[in-house]
A and B are shown apart, each in its own frame.
Chain A
Amino acid sequence: MGTDRCAYLSRLRRVDPIPKVWFALAALLICVLSDSLGVGLFTLAALSALNLILGGQRVGDLLRFLKVPLAFLAIGGLTIAIRPIGEAEALWAFRLLGRWNWGITTENLRLSLLVCGKAMGAVSAVYFLSMNTPMTDLTLALERLHVPKLFVELTELIYRFIFLLAGEAGRIRTAQESRLGYQGFRRSLGSMGELLSTVFVRSLRRGERVFSALESRGYTGALATLPGQYVPGRWLYGLAAATAACQLLILLAERRLLP
């Protein structure tokens, strides 16, 4: 499901998750805080390259994931670029319904490009984390970072149950589709409603079963698990510092060159 498969195949999989978390978060925060197109594009290029080189991800996989947020970006970018401009000087303008003057000004175009570049940079930073760290390692890392135990446990349980329920929903959907379900809007609603309620009832019953199984194995309210055996990843802190330095240099250069 999603980036999960890639994370288990990643070359960085055995590396301690905490340096990976800090590395990705540092790149992400600097990218968002610096508010510059150059830094955004650099973060996009650098983190994607590191993802491919260090993580050994396939180019096709990365491109497929980078395409996901493009739909949102298309609407977001357009709504920032094309807007009512009054009588301002525009690169391109039209009368909406013959009354309002809408168009693209240089300033709005620049803002739109800035937002798109920054967002894609941020997305690539998160992909570096999620495509190289299995979720179970991340939840253990959360625990080591002193996130409340109950929250971590809920996260772990939900992660496990997602796959159970998604598999079940998929099987039910196949069964429905092979029996003329989802034909037309009305029947789609009916089929979907049955699917959801069945999955919900089964998930409740399954929850009861999981609890009985846990209780018969001495469950006292806490799920204790052993952390994995990790390769130390301190070199990632060096990489984080180098990336941050490059990002800041680009920011300074951009501020100097473009007043």
Chain B
Amino acid sequence: MKRSAWKLCSLLPMALVLLTAPAGAMHIMEGYLPAPWAFGWMAICIPFVVTGFLSIRKKTAREPRAKVLLAMCGAFAFVLSALKIPSVFGSCSHPTGVGLGAILFGPTATAVLGLIVLLFQALLLAHGGLTTLGANVFSMAIVGPFVSFGLYALLKKAGAKPALAVFTAAALGDLATYVTTSIQLGVVYGNFLQYLSIFALTQIPLAIAEGLLTVVVFNVLEKYAKEDLRALAVL
């Protein structure tokens, strides 16, 4: 009798976590990381962002149109991440757009666009923060896109069906982002497995949903917008 009561008690915090997690679990909030970690992650991001910035500068110098197009893509990423995504449990969350961005624009440009989008999210919506910008850029605009892009390129080379390649890239890129976030939280506050298990419970269904969603988006784009995608080749 007594043991079952304890079990019930142990389920309570888990249930609480499950209810609240999907709402804002993907960005590490402002002031949550201690200063050395916050600045450390910023430093790690610098080479990626600088490389991306230089590649954008080279492209815009050659083709001025690219600047406006890139800005549109950045705005699209912001709007995408503000939309509610349907999830399997009936709860809602927001897509990361990691896979879509990486496949469409390449991982280096995504790092810069991701930085700007995360800056806007921190200021306008209080998702994420200024001090945790480095950590969030690293998980969402660097690790996720690189994983997605690498997987997509690899699977396409291996001759997989396009839908399968897009699904795997988007879903695993999404998961890589969450694993990175739990590592970032775990190395600071210990208990990495606890973060990972919480994220696994809520994020695996979300990653699958985002993977399916990205496949739908790609199918529609393939069917109706081949010409427009060719315009992206200048990016």
Q: What residues of chain A have their CB less than 8 Å away from a CB belonging to chain B?
A: 1-4, 25, 28-29, 31-33, 35, 40, 65, 68-69, 71-76, 78-80, 82-84, 94-98, 102, 111, 115, 118-123, 126-127, 129-130, 135, 138, 148, 150-151, 153-155, 157-162, 164-166, 169, 182, 185, 188-190, 192-201, 203-208, 210-211, 214-215, 219-221
Contact = CB atoms under 8 A, between A and B. Distances in A.
For B16, B68, B80, the residue with the greatest tally of chain A CB atoms inside 10 Å of its CB is: B68
Interface of B: 3, 6-7, 9-10, 13, 16-17, 20-21, 23-25, 27-32, 34-35, 38, 53, 56-57, 60-61, 64-65, 67-76, 78-80, 82-83, 85-86, 88, 100, 112-113, 116-117, 119-120, 122-127, 129-131, 185, 189-191, 194-195, 198, 209, 212-213, 215-221, 224-225, 228, 231-232
A159 B120 contact: yes
Contacts of A74: 16-17, 20
Contacts of B119: 155
Given A182-B86, A205-B228, A208-B231, A154 B195 contact: no
Contacts of B190: 83
B124 A1 contact: yes
B171 to A, nearest CB: 13
B198 A79 contact: yes
B103 to A, nearest CB: 12
A214 B68 contact: yes
A69 B93 CA distance: 15
Contacts of B74: 154, 157-158, 161
A256 B67 CA distance: 55
Contacts of A204: 69, 72, 225, 228, 231-232
A74 B185 CA distance: 14
Nearest to B64: A221
A32 B35 contact: yes
A160 B79 CA distance: 12
Nearest to A153: B67
Contacts of A160: 75
A259 B213 CA distance: 54
Contacts of B122: 126
A189 B213 contact: yes
Contacts of A208: 65, 68-69, 231
Contacts of B113: 154, 158
Contacts of B78: 158, 162, 165
28 contacts: A65-B126, A69-B24, A72-B27, A72-B28, A72-B29, A74-B17, A75-B198, A76-B185, A79-B194, A102-B10, A115-B32, A126-B30, A127-B126, A150-B67, A153-B67, A155-B116, A157-B67, A158-B117, A165-B76, A192-B213, A196-B80, A200-B76, A204-B72, A208-B231, A210-B68, A210-B72, A214-B68, A221-B67
Contacts of B64: 211, 215, 219-221
Contacts of A96: 10
B24 A68 contact: yes
B31 A154 contact: no
Given A71-B24, A189-B209, A200-B76, A157 B123 contact: no
A201 B124 contact: no
A66 B174 CA distance: 28
B217 A196 contact: yes
Given A3-B126, A28-B30, 19 more contacts: A2-B126, A32-B34, A32-B38, A71-B23, A74-B17, A75-B25, A79-B189, A115-B189, A122-B31, A150-B53, A158-B120, A162-B79, A165-B78, A169-B79, A201-B225, A201-B228, A203-B76, A211-B69, A221-B60
